[in-house]
């Protein structure tokens, strides 16, 4: 039986995917759930498993090609007797199966990570609008979302042309310009230069960063925090914690817990801006920047405000591990409301991170360093001690968060860390 391999819908906001590379060739035997190709979306790169055991008989979409979700990209023959055929014979057999012929061998239409695609099937589109949509490559998902100015919300020629203009303007503003490498080689020849084209995720990240800077006026404030008690406490329970939970205790859960509790008090720091409307959220989806093999990525821990310390620590461990193993799905990295980035892991003591749009703020963590600090008691007496210190930075959107609110929020995070309730960890 011929099984269709289909470009999967990896999330509600994903409408197309690019095939990075095929890991199997035509004629290869494959096991069910064995990774057969890597795809890239505008959110994340993913490894795609085979939906069935059998032989890869035909590849319809080649590497570096982008196609809409739901597109048939390959076929797998589940009749294992086909394994005796050579690769050439398998290709010939696959070619003999006319994919447009309803009388050919029965097929199973298996969607990887299936999601319901909701279209307005009853919405009327004029032949002119349909022609323009087809010519310009506007998929049905996108067409259904265009606001119509005609009667009964009908999309007019003006509506679709206006959509195309906005899409074109956005592409000109934020897209990375494609360059002919062969021409550049004349200007920067080897061996003194090495040219490498940006991969899909690098391009999307670059565009996202440019969009953020051009959207939000960034303001960064810095404070230093005494982590001495947290450092001592963590070292004292490392083995006990891992034995109890099955995972290691890092510093990140302490920062996450302190930030979440501060955001409950300063809700505007957890908000976003749409036009002139501030959108306050009654939930905290915490984004954690992770240095993954294919670049920086920000998976999200949802409803962080509802989690106790151990479950929050477990969720952070899970998304971080899956990010580094390239096991995230696009839905794992969307709808964040506030982010934390730990550039201190590489030894940097201070930084000014860029806001992860459409969020309003991001917390940056420097490296923990021992420094001599002047401490004063209630009587005003000073003493010098070696303390474990860290610089925290809070970068925020100055359109909706002023310096007073930003400063108070960072001060609250500092207080939460320096007065951490360790009973939360021991529960």
User: Is the separation of the CB atoms in 56 and 30 below 8 Å?
Assistant: yes
Q: In order of start, what are the domains of the chain with their CATH numbers?
A: 2-110 (2.40.50.100), 127-174 (no CATH), 218-426 (3.30.559.10)
Q: What's the confidence (pLDDT) of residue 18?
A: 84
What are the percentages of helix, strand and coil residues in the chain, rounded to 5?
Answer: 35, 25, 40
Q: How many angstroms separate the CA atoms of 368 and 231, rounded?
A: 9
Question: Phi, psi at residue 417, to the nearest 5°?
Answer: -75, -45
Element (H, E) at 128: helix 127-136
Alpha helix stretches (DSSP H) within 137-288: 140-145, 157-174, 181-187, 200-215, 228-245, 252-265
Q: What's the confidence (pLDDT) of residue 343?
A: 95
Which residue is catalytic, options 208, 398, 419, 421?
398
Intervals of the chain under pLDDT 50: 82-121
At 99-142, the pLDDT tens digits run 333 333 333 333 333 333 344 445 778 778 888 888 887 877 77
At 332-383, the pLDDT tens digits run 888 999 999 999 999 999 999 999 999 999 999 999 999 999 999 888 899 9
Q: Specify whether 398 is catalytic.
A: yes
DSSP 8-state secondary structure symbol assigned to residue 378: T
Alpha helix stretches (DSSP H) within 246-340: 252-265, 309-324
Q: What's the confidence (pLDDT) of residue 117?
A: 37
Q: Which of 339, 337, 319 is nearest to 328 (CA)?
A: 319
Which residue is catalytic, options 153, 308, 402, 421?
402
At 302-329, the pLDDT tens digits run 999 999 999 999 999 999 999 998 888 8
Q: What's the confidence (pLDDT) of residue 426?
A: 80
Q: How many angstroms separate the CA atoms of 296 and 285, rounded?
A: 18
Q: Which of 170, 363, 364, 396 is nearest to 272 (CA)?
A: 396
């Amino acid at each position: 039986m011929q099984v269709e391999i289909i470009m999967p819908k990896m999330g509600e906001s994903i409408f197309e995917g690019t095939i990075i590379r095929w890991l199997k060739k035509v004629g290869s035997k494959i096991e069910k759930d064995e990774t057969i190709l890597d795809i890239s979306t505008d959110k994340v790169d993913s490894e795609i498993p085979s939906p069935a055991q059998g032989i890869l008989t035909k590849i319809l979409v080649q590497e570096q090609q982008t196609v809409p979700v739901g597109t048939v990209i390959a076929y797998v023959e589940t009749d294992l007797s086909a394994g005796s055929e050579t690769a050439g014979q398998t290709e010939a057999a696959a070619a003999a199966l006319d994919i447009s012929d309803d009388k050919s061998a029965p097929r199973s239409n298996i969607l990887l990570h299936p999601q319901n695609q909701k279209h307005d099937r009853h919405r009327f589109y004029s032949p002119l609008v349909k022609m323009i949509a087809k010519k310009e490559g506007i998929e049905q998902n996108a067409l259904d979302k265009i606001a119509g100015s005609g009667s009964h919300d009908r999309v007019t020629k003006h509506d679709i042309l206006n959509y195309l203009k906005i899409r074109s303007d956005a592409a000109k503003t934020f897209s990375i310009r494609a360059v002919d490498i062969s021409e550049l080689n004349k200007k920067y020849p080897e061996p003194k230069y090495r040219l490498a084209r940006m991969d899909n995720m690098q391009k999307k990240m670059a565009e996202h960063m440019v969009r953020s800077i051009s959207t939000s006026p960034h303001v960064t404030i810095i404070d230093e925090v005494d982590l001495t008690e947290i450092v001592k406490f963590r070292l004292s329970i490392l083995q006990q914690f891992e034995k109890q939970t099955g995972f290691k205790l890092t510093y990140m859960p302490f920062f996450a817990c302190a930030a979440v509790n501060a955001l409950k008090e300063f809700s505007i720091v957890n908000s976003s801006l749409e036009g002139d409307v501030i959108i306050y959220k009654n939930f905290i989806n915490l984004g954690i920047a992770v240095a993954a093999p294919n670049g920086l990525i920000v998976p999200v821990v949802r409803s962080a405000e509802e989690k106790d310390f151990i479950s929050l620590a477990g969720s952070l461990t899970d998304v971080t591990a899956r990010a580094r193993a390239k096991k995230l799905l696009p839905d794992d990295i969307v709808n964040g409301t506030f982010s934390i980035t730990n550039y201190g892991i590489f030894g940097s003591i201070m930084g000014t991170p860029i806001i992860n749009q459409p969020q309003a703020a991001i917390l940056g963590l420097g490296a923990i360093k021992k420094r001599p600090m002047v401490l004063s008691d209630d009587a005003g007496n000073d003493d010098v001690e070696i303390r474990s210190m860290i610089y925290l930075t809070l970068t925020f959107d100055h359109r909706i968060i002023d310096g007073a609110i930003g400063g108070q929020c960072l001060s609250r995070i500092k207080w939460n860390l320096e007065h951490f309730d360790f009973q939360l960890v021991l529960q």
